[in-house]
Structure 1
Amino acid sequence: MAARVGDYIRQSWHRPWSWGEVDCTLWVADWCLLYWGFDPAARWRGRYATEAEMRRITGGDLPGFLARECPLPQRAAAREGDVAVIAVAGHEVAAIRHGEKWAFRKPRGVGLVRAEAIQIWGR
């Protein structure tokens, strides 16, 4: 394992939220780059600056969009470090598995929740 999720969370939670630079999806893409050595967001980094622009890029289907962009195989059960789309307060967000919970980026810091994943990717 090239990196540990807990270390990544501690080192990145304080970065100011900015759509298209530091948001829930790019935070997970940064993890993929660090952990697996590929950037699933390479084609669309810097191409949006608002939530509405991000929704236009994803077509409002975050799981489907990430399935097309992520070269990792889909998994039925999550392991430490895997990535997923989860639902939090009625919103689909990208997340990273940490222990028994999912870590996800919020406008102020990182949240940890127990949630059923909508879709999981990992090795």
Structure 2
Amino acid sequence: MYRKPDWETRLAAYLEPLRARPFAWGEHDCCTFSAGAVAAMTDVDPMPEFRGRYSTAIGSARALRRFGRGTLAATLDAKFEAIEPAFAQRGDVVMSSGLLGICMGAFLVAVGREGDREGLIRIERARWVEPRAWRVQFGF
């Protein structure tokens, strides 16, 4: 799975309609959001085995045990190249405090809540907690 030459345009088009979409387990959560972003950039869904398999937090944990490697981080380790979070670039997958999202350079975009607003949120790089990161490969 490699980024298409126009990956930045594809990613922007994917993000725009999701800005105000509320969190929903199995439909618009950190896993489905991040997998959708990768699919937008590469034309390959990295998590198809999870689609339609859960609709609650408990169901998500069960799906990770059944279809993944037990945890979200271990599942991502099996699908992507792990990198030092300090080296995460725009379009890479990043986890902070267990929340998965997409690196946009100086911040991480993820599904969440800020005050009364639900949808995509920004987490500044300086506020990442126990970050993990995975490279979304560039094509040649």
TM-score (norm 2): 0.72
1:119 deviates by: 3.0
Distance 1:112 1:16 in 2: 15
Q: Which runs of 4+ in 1 moved over 6 A?
A: none
Q: Which residue of 2 aligns with 1:98?
A: 104
Identity of aligned residues (%): 24
Q: Which residue of 1 aligns with 2:3?
A: none
CA RMSD of aligned residues (A): 2.0
Distance 2:72 2:95 in 1: 7
Secondary structure at 1:67 match in 2: helix
**Would you say 1:42 and 2:56 are equivalent positions?**
no
Distance 1:105 1:16 in 2: 8
Secondary structure at 2:49 match in 1: coil
Instruction: Note if contact 2:95-2:132 (Cα within 8 Å) is conserved in structure 1.
Output: yes
Q: Which residue of 1 aligns with 2:136?
A: 122
Instruction: Note if contact 1:103-1:112 (Cα within 8 Å) is conserved in structure 2.
Output: yes
Q: Which residue of 2 aligns with 1:15?
A: 21
Distance 2:44 2:100 in 1: 16
TM-score (norm 1): 0.81
Unaligned runs of 5+ in 2: 1-5
Q: How many residue pairs were aligned? A: 117
